[in-house]
């Protein structure tokens, strides 16, 4: 079975790891959000792409789900001594990635080419594609502080400002990265990982033409919400601030334009009767690699039943 997975960072990477335990590299392509990308001290940083790559390379920090395993922070500590405000965690090993990516971008290479080359170096055989090679920047519109670039909102302001909307700056000029459309066309199904619907999956779907192709496929999403809470991050808070009661149902409604199957937690099984697409209730918390594989198997089983 050929699968395309749409992923943000930590939540996305967990399910992607599960899928990679079951599918060979020819049968799994991952399309990753780049709306979180930003520049720090002149370095081009692509957090979600790195989280997915590090996870599949076995290099990710197992405790945080992002950043590198066994990381040190000497460069950051020394930057602080020079008066640089520390609001973003930048590990020493991670910095090597950002330095080389920035160099190659300045040499004129595309993000998709650089990612392919890095994956090759890290021994990752799966195709990990940025959603676009053109820069797209997620802007969070807040009630009290106006529009904030995503990392300002997420890291510096710790998701505290109340959200009233989102804008994906640069989206009109962005086209899908090479291979993105082909992978979706050839896939038996698209898996929407349990990533933040507003700021991880929406930017991917907003890239020119992607939403229209998705509408022609079997698409299965996994809820990032149990009950009315997320496992991590601001997705539930965003739903509330936008006037929507957070729940797996709200997530499914969010994807209603293209959704054909849905997975929610056993705890929310009663919501199945309110769902407008075939829905499976299972354990969706991924505490370890076995949980990831089990959930990925549930996803593949649901897809099979929809074919
Ligand atoms: P980010 O870019 O690092 O914020 O990561 P994503 O957007 O990919 O994922 C964030 C979402 O992942 C949050 O809404 C979490 O609720 C969800 N998440 C994290 N861990 C799990 C898990 O084990 N199971 C499920 N179903 N969702 C998870
Ligand atoms: Ca992210």
Ligand with the closest atom to the CA of 233:
1
Q: Count how many Cα atoms sit within 13 Å of the Cα of residue 122 in the half-sphere of its side chain.
A: 25
Best of 32, 65, 159, 194 to mutate for ligand 1, by most ligand atoms within 8 A of CB?
A: 194
Determine whether the shortest distance from the Cβ of 260 to ligand 1 is under 6 A: no
Q: Which atom number of ligand 1 is nearest to the Cα of residue 222?
A: 26
pLDDT digits (tens, 9 = 90+) for 164-175: 999 999 999 999
* Short-list 284, 204, 193, 196, CA closest to 239: 196
Tokens of residue 221, six digits: 């999403």
pLDDT digits (tens, 9 = 90+) for 72-126: 999 999 999 999 877 778 999 999 999 999 999 999 999 999 999 999 999 999 9
Answer yes or no: do 117 and 216 share one domain.
Answer: yes
Percent of the chain with pLDDT over 90: 94
Confidence band of 209 (pLDDT split at 50, 70, 90): confident
Answer yes or no: do 299 and 192 share one domain.
Answer: yes
Q: Give 15 Cα–ligand 1 centroid separation in angstroms.
A: 9
Residue 211 has a pLDDT of: 87
Q: Which atom number of ligand 1 is nearest to the Cα of residue 154?
A: 4
Identify the residue whose tokens are 């006037």.
243
Q: Residue range 194-207: average pLDDT?
A: 98
Answer yes or no: do 162 and 186 share one domain.
Answer: no
In this structure, are residues 181 and 8 in contact, taking their beta carbons and an 8 Å threshold?
Answer: no
Percent of the chain with pLDDT over 70: 100
Answer yes or no: do 205 and 283 share one domain.
Answer: yes
Confidence band of 20 (pLDDT split at 50, 70, 90): very high
**Domain span including residue 160:** 137-169
Answer yes or no: do 141 and 123 share one domain.
Answer: no
pLDDT digits (tens, 9 = 90+) for 242-272: 999 999 999 999 999 999 999 999 999 999 9
Domain count, the chain: 2
Answer yes or no: do 45 and 142 share one domain.
Answer: no
Residue 218 has a pLDDT of: 97
Determine whether the shortest distance from the Cβ of 289 to ligand 1 is under 6 A: no
Answer yes or no: do 39 and 87 share one domain.
Answer: yes
Answer yes or no: do 165 and 180 share one domain.
Answer: no
CATH number at residue 12: 3.40.50.10680
Answer yes or no: do 28 and 71 share one domain.
Answer: yes
Q: Which atom number of ligand 1 is nearest to the Cα of residue 230?
A: 16
Determine whether the shortest distance from the Cβ of 286 to ligand 1 is under 6 A: yes
Q: Residue range 227-238: average pLDDT?
A: 95
Answer yes or no: do 87 and 205 share one domain.
Answer: yes
Q: Which atom number of ligand 1 is nearest to the Cα of residue 33?
A: 2
Ligand with the closest atom to the CA of 150:
2
Determine whether the shortest distance from the Cβ of 285 to ligand 1 is under 6 A: yes
Answer yes or no: do 215 and 277 share one domain.
Answer: yes
Ligand with the closest atom to the CA of 195:
1
Residue 88 has a pLDDT of: 79
pLDDT digits (tens, 9 = 90+) for 36-69: 999 999 999 999 999 999 999 999 998 888 899 9
Query: Does the reported pTM lie above 0.85?
Result: yes
Q: Give 148 Cα–ligand 2 centroid separation in angstroms.
A: 15
Answer yes or no: do 157 and 228 share one domain.
Answer: no
Q: Among 148, 169, 190, where does a domain finish?
A: 169
Residue 87 has a pLDDT of: 76
Q: Which atom number of ligand 1 is nearest to the Cα of residue 225?
A: 16
Q: Give 194 Cα–ligand 1 centroid separation in angstroms.
A: 5
| CA nearest ligand 1 atom 1, residue | 9
Determine whether the shortest distance from the Cβ of 284 to ligand 1 is under 6 A: yes
- The overall average pLDDT reported for the chain is 96
Check residue 68 and report its DSSP letter: B
Determine whether the shortest distance from the Cβ of 197 to ligand 1 is under 6 A: no
Long-range contacts made by residues 93-99, C-beta under 8 angstroms, separation at least 24? 93/59, 93/68, 94/50, 94/67, 94/68, 95/43, 97/50, 98/40, 98/43, 98/44, 98/45, 99/43
């Amino acid at each position: 079975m050929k699968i395309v997975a749409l992923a943000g960072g930590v939540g996305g990477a967990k399910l992607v790891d599960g899928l990679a335990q079951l599918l060979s590299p020819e049968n799994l392509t991952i399309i990753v959000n780049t709306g979180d990308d930003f520049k720090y001290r002149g370095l081009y940083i692509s957090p979600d792409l790195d989280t997915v790559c590090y996870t599949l390379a076995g290099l990710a920090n197992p405790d945080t789900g992002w950043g590198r395993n066994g990381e040190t922070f000497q460069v950051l500590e020394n930057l602080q001594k020079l008066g640089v405000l520390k609001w973003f965690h930048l590990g020493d090993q991670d910095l090597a990635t950002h330095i080389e990516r920035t160099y190659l971008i300045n040499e004129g290479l595309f993000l998709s080419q650089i990612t392919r080359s890095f994956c090759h170096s890290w021994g990752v055989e799966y195709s990990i594609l940025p959603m676009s090679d053109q820069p797209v920047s997620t802007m969070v519109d807040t009630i009290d502080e106006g529009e904030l670039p995503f990392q300002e909102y997420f890291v510096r302001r710790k998701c505290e400002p109340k959200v009233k909307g989102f804008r994906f700056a640069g989206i009109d000029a962005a086209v899908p990265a090479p291979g993105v459309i082909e992978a979706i066309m050839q896939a038996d199904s698209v898996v929407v990982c349990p990533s933040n619907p507003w700021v991880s999956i929406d930017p991917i779907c907003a890239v020119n033409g992607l939403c229209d192709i998705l509408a022609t496929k079997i698409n299965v999403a996994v809820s990032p919400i149990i009950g009315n809470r997320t496992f991590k991050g601001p997705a539930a808070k965003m739903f509330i601030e936008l006037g929507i009661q957070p729940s797996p149902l709200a997530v499914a409604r969010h994807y209603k334009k293209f959704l054909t199957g849905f997975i929610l937690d056993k705890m929310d099984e009663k919501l199945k009767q309110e769902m407008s697409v075939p829905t499976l209730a299972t354990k969706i918390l991924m505490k370890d690699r076995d949980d990831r594989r089990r959930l990925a198997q549930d996803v593949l089983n649901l897809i099979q039943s929809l074919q």
